[in-house]
Amino acid sequence: MDKSDKKRVLLKIGTNTLTKETNQISRGKIEDIGRQISELKDSHDFIIVSSGAIAVAKQFVKLESSGKEINVKQALAAIGQPHLMRIFQESFRELGLLTSQCLLSYADFKRDKSKENIYNTINVLLDNSYIPIINENDTVATEEIQFGDNDKLAALTGALMEVDLVIIATNTDGIYTKESIGEKVKSTIRTVTDLKALEKEVIDGKSSQGTGGMQSKIEAAEILKKEQIETWIVNGIGDNFILNAMNEQIAFTKILNS
């Protein structure tokens, strides 16, 4: 298959997915993601937006600080980011996959020259079979410009790179109907065309380790929908979640692009 014929997928991985809802990054989960990308690499190009730098640092560092909590988080991100990339690099390399790191901030998407640089750099990486692994540049971010657990970062990157699909991996089987949550049976909304109606179904709440929540995922889908890009919200905890979603073997929420 010619490279131009490949489907371009942006995979956003939340902290709860990477830790499998524990307090430690799961190397097995990163290997699981790598195995699936390896299986799909002849027909798909992947861009990864990954959270988890702070969670990695928390595994072995306790910082003393009299500063603001945001400064402590920024310092933890600076400590954890190289370790997170090392785990990706080692796990993917064993599968014959090449990785690269891109740190972006919200301000980068406000400037035309920065957007052009991001676009060109990521395309060169993909053309040379390197998987871009993107995270927010937490060490320069402030409370006002932080992405909601990288959901907005994934949406802005996906829109800029004109991807065919964005998969947001989280710790639920997509978005549940409000009624089913009240009845504790959790029924997944399988297909969505009306985002305004979907917002009414969302019960606000953030994940235990992440900074986002379903609201930020809907806002991300809204950015993508304007660019005619489909968004899937998939439970990334189980093995083979990408392949299972593509084969319609699991319940997840598909937000259509029209």
Buried b (16+ CB within 10 A) or exposed e, 50-77: bbbbbbbbbeeeeeeeeeeeeeebbbbb
What share of the chain in percent tops pLDDT 70? 88
Beta carbons within 10 angstroms of residue 247's beta carbon: 9
Query: Is 214 a residue whose pLDDT tops 90?
Result: no
CATH number, domain of 233, equals: 3.40.1160.10
What is the reported pLDDT for 199?
80
Q: How many domains does the chain have?
A: 1
Question: Measured over all CA atoms, what is the biggest interatomic distance in the chain, rounded to whole angstroms?
Answer: 56
Predicted confidence (pLDDT) at residue 86 exceeds the cutoff of 90: yes
User: pLDDT tens, 228-256?
Assistant: 999 999 999 999 999 999 999 999 999 99
What's the domain range around 34? 3-7+9-255
Query: Which has the closest alpha carbon to 198: 217, 223, 172?
Result: 217
Give the CA distances from residue 209 to residues 15, 105, 182, 212, 233, in Å, rounded to whole numbers and listed in that order: 6, 21, 23, 9, 18
The lowest-confidence range among 2-6, 60-64, 138-142, 226-230 is: 138-142
Please answer whether residues 227 and 162 qualify as being in contact, where contact means their C-beta atoms are separated by less than 8 angstroms: yes
Tell me how crowded residue 177 is: count the other CB atoms within 10 A of its CB: 15
- 144 has pLDDT over 50: no
Residue 192 burial (CB < 10 Å; 0-12/13-18/19+)?
Answer: buried
Mean pLDDT within 94-113:
94
Confidence grade of residue 132 (pLDDT, cut at 50, 70, 90)? very high
**6-57 per-position pLDDT tens digit:** 999 999 999 999 999 898 999 999 999 999 999 999 999 999 999 999 889 9
What sign does the CA torsion over 214, 217, 223, 226 have? negative
Q: How far apart are CA 35 and CA 41, in angstroms?
A: 10
